[in-house]
Structure 1
């Protein structure tokens, strides 16, 4: 699939008949000025400029899922090797990724669908928009699980009850309300309201919805204290193995090495990964192959993508 040609289109503003005196002339002038500014901004976009490739740090679950889903990791012998170009700019969390792409007209990046905002533009991938409906029906294939993990069955009563809440109808409603795909068959929450402290930590992609879940849980169990530590998926899993976290968060599947250390994973939601560009970029969609070629360094300028 070829991306729409990266050219700006100038709008023609028509003037209509006779203007009525004193009726919104200032507002009309302001709107015309705003439209002209937008057109000037778009016309400044030059597809011959280098692509600013932005990726996440090693250990990020979002990066791990992204490179797997787009075929950016390749198997070499017994090892899987991340083929992301060395020219990529590395960001260490979701908010920095969004800010970086929003400030650079020629940037491309990727974020959790649930974290997407209007500061950037999400591209269609293989003709499908990044929406909950398209993830559910399988037309948007760039999705991954949000996992929580404990070392074996949790012994911390607050951790156990909090997990029960997350998986209940109430918890899954919080997940759905925050833009993630929930389990429609969740059971009612059997409240036990234990006292004590629980530490949850890991993925910066899971962290925003986990914060909402903690807020909601504290309303039904004010006896509980839950500390949230945000890092990345790998840190979440290793810290749970070591006992620093009662519950770890990962925005990817658990690795065999993590499971062999005794981690037990539970999917709490499904999330899409949105491929994002600056709002001034006239592109609307890319193919999976084009994304791979960009991130492996085969394409270095936007006009190469459009050829």
Structure 2
């Protein structure tokens, strides 16, 4: 009898995670482009007055950046969250969705459909802003984008005209790591241009451009029609995948897309329900 009980316990205690324990969903804050894209792609929504709205369970812990999301999941054995594919590191584990692992290759071959654009938005233009964006979207920057784990949309070549000035870029914490790399590379080619990056979230980034606080806004989601009506212009900087992440000790390696939806709606609350 004792051996039987020990065997049953061992089957539940896979990888150090007690599968009967509650799932702790971790979400990004309202205004986050990553949250907006995740909610839309996975259908974590409800209809209110003929409009789909975010229905993330109120039991989810809210984090305000990609870094905090990763740290929270890394430190909580039964947690689940989501981040930019390009931000993945060894502190957490990305799970496959419906048997397909999140990777640039699988996004390109259309087998992993959980992806979204990284957008940059502008309003008032000047030669320095135009030049930086031309570089960021150029073949010369393609290697930087791809090395960082994203899909490049580069088409044209870039040649520096040695401009001088300052640019303020604000917005998404998911886009920021890529933008930092582009900034560093651009400033080496154009040492008389200073670029300041202010990390926040996608909605703040867009609003900063609308209000004239920033020159370029970063958004890790599609730009809304209501935002475009405020006089901004948007263009895709790169394509990024969304990765669903769990603690490294969690034995779960694959989840159904529908199960992820139910977890973040609060309909699935225990890991044993997705075994």
Match for residue 255 of structure 2 among 286, 291, 306 = 286
| Structure 1: distance between partners of 2:145 and 2:50 | 37
Q: State yes or no: 1:171 paired with 2:116.
A: no
| Structure 1: distance between partners of 2:214 and 2:52 | 28
**TM-score normalised to structure 1 length:** 0.84
* Contact map agreement 1:8 1:43 (CA 8 A) in 2: no
Secondary structure of the corresponding residue to residue 192 of structure 1 = coil
What are the ranges of 5 or more consecutive residues in structure 2 without an aligned counterpart? Answer: 1-8
**TM-score normalised to structure 2 length:** 0.94
Q: State yes or no: 1:155 paired with 2:125.
A: yes
| Structure 2: distance between partners of 1:204 and 1:303 | 33
What are the ranges of 5 or more consecutive residues in structure 1 without an aligned counterpart? Answer: 1-6, 11-40
* Contact map agreement 1:121 1:278 (CA 8 A) in 2: yes
| Structure 2: distance between partners of 1:203 and 1:175 | 16
Q: Which moved more, 1:138-147 or 1:171-180?
A: 171-180
| Structure 2: distance between partners of 1:145 and 1:102 | 26
* Contact map agreement 1:202 1:231 (CA 8 A) in 2: yes
Superposition map of 1:235-274 within 5 A: 235-274=204-243
* Contact map agreement 2:16 2:250 (CA 8 A) in 1: no
Q: State the match for 1:4 in structure 2.
A: none
CA separation of 1:231/1:174 partners in 2, compared to 1, >3 Å: closer, same or farther?
same
* Contact map agreement 1:156 1:198 (CA 8 A) in 2: no
Match for residue 95 of structure 1 among 67, 74, 77 = 67
Q: State the match for 1:37 in structure 2.
A: none
CA separation of 1:137/1:104 partners in 2, compared to 1, >3 Å: closer, same or farther?
same
The CA deviation at 1:177 is: 1.3
* Contact map agreement 1:122 1:274 (CA 8 A) in 2: yes
Q: State the match for 1:52 in structure 2.
A: 24
How many residue pairs end up in the alignment? 267
CA separation of 1:262/1:281 partners in 2, compared to 1, >3 Å: closer, same or farther?
same
Q: CA RMSD in A?
A: 1.6
Q: State the match for 1:221 in structure 2.
A: 190
Q: State the match for 1:297 in structure 2.
A: 266
| Structure 2: distance between partners of 1:118 and 1:73 | 31
* Contact map agreement 2:15 2:250 (CA 8 A) in 1: no
Secondary structure of the corresponding residue to residue 254 of structure 1 = coil
The CA deviation at 1:171 is: 1.6
| Structure 2: distance between partners of 1:78 and 1:233 | 25
| Structure 2: distance between partners of 1:143 and 1:159 | 27
| Structure 1: distance between partners of 2:185 and 2:128 | 14
Match for residue 137 of structure 1 among 109, 129, 138 = 109
Q: Between Structure 1 and Structure 2, whose CA radius of gyration is higher?
A: 1
CA separation of 1:244/1:290 partners in 2, compared to 1, >3 Å: closer, same or farther?
same
Q: State the match for 1:61 in structure 2.
A: 33
Q: What are the Cα deviations for residues 43-101 of structure 1, in whole angstroms up to 9, with x where unaligned?
A: 54211111011000000000000000000023333422111000000000001100100
Q: What are the Cα deviations for residues 2-59 of structure 1, in whole angstroms up to 9, with x where unaligned?
A: xxxxx9679xxxxxxxxxxxxxxxxxxxxxxxxxxxxxx8554211111011000000
